[in-house]
Amino acid sequence: MRISYHGHSVVKIEANDKVILIDPFINGNELTDLEVSDIKADVILLTHGHNDHVGDTVEIAKNNDALVIAPFELATFLSWKGVNTHPMHIGGSHTFDFGTVKLTQAFHGSSYTDEETKQIIYTGMPAGLLITINEKTIYHAGDTALYSDMKLLGKHHSIDVAFLPIGDNFTMGPDDALLAAEWINARVVVPIHYNTFPVIKQDPHAFVERLTKAKGQVLHAGEYVEV
């Protein structure tokens, strides 16, 4: 299984002849190496409704007839845009043809902003993602603050790769992400959600060097790990 990073919080999983894309914020993301028109995806997973995570989901999903898996309110909102969706919610899991997805807590907001009408549309609770494929588990934390129940993730799940936000201001900063990494106890920790905007400027290499238990790895756009 190949797991690649594509700037901001964009992650791509290639396994079992499927391509799974997480939070595909492409247009407007200067750190990505992807072009919307070139993307092939069978499944899109969304952590929450903010524009820098929903991103180009509708266009990519329609181009590929992809299934979009998201928290209930966000899935409903996207279904109204003509997208094929599977709604889920916090604590729930479901087994798909590519593997199993479980939604975890994330302490953040979740809404979609329509700039033209100046409307903020509520899209339910934010989530993290536990994705298990071929007995390997990937954790994508989404946008979240540090919270103590992260200890349960490490206790009840054997996590192979964890993607943790380090940008601060909107999410955990490096100090809290270090504690999260210790609690989650993943084999590999990859920092995400940094440097896209000036307010979340961070040094991912400095963060990785401070990790004690986990093997940290900085992935630049297009780079990957294999598990």
Domain of residue 193, CATH code: 3.60.15.10
Q: What is the pLDDT of residue 9?
A: 98
Cα distance between residue 215 and residue 204, in whole Å = 13
Q: Please report whether residue 122 resides in a domain.
A: yes
Report residue 33's pLDDT band, with 50, 70 and 90 as the boundaries: very high
Question: Is 24 a domain residue?
Answer: yes
What's the rounded Cα separation, in Å, for the pair 118 and 54? Answer: 17
pLDDT above 90 coverage of the chain, percent: 99
Q: Is residue 85 part of a domain?
A: yes
**What average pLDDT is seen over the chain?**
97
Give the pLDDT confidence of 69-97 residue by residue, as tens digits.
Answer: 999 999 999 999 999 999 999 999 999 99
The whole-number average pLDDT for the span 163-170 is 98
Average pLDDT, stretch 162-179?
A: 98
pLDDT band at 200 (very low <50, low <70, confident <90, very high): very high
| Residue 225 is assigned to a structural domain of this protein | no
Integer CA distances (angstroms), 156 to 127, 171, 185, 186, in order: 18, 24, 11, 12
Residue 104 covered by a domain: yes
Domain that holds residue 158: 2-218
Name the pLDDT band for 212 (thresholds 50, 70, 90): confident
Task: Supply the pLDDT for residue 40.
Answer: 97
* Average pLDDT estimate for 134-163: 97
In this structure, are residues 85 and 69 in contact, taking their beta carbons and an 8 Å threshold? Answer: yes
Q: What is the DSSP letter of 161?
A: E
SS3 108: coil
Please write the tens of the pLDDT for every residue from 43-73. Answer: 999 999 999 999 999 999 999 999 999 999 9
Give a yes or no: residue 223 inside a domain. no
In this prediction, residue 214 carries a pLDDT of 76
Which CA distances in Å does 18 have to 40, 60, 169?
10, 15, 35
Structure tokens given for 144: 């979240």
Tell whether 34 is covered by a domain: yes
Count of domains for the chain: 1
Q: Does residue 226 form part of some domain? A: no
Alpha-carbon distance 171 to 50, whole Å?
A: 13
All residues at 6 or more sequence positions from 34 whose CB lies less than 8 Å from its CB, including other chains: 6, 10, 24, 26, 221
Residue 165 · residue 48 · CB < 8 Å: no
Whole-angstrom distance, CA of residue 102 vs CA of residue 120: 27
Please tell me the predicted confidence (pLDDT) of residue 213: 76
Q: For residue 155, what are the CA distances in angstroms to 11, 67, 81, 159, 171?
A: 24, 31, 39, 10, 23
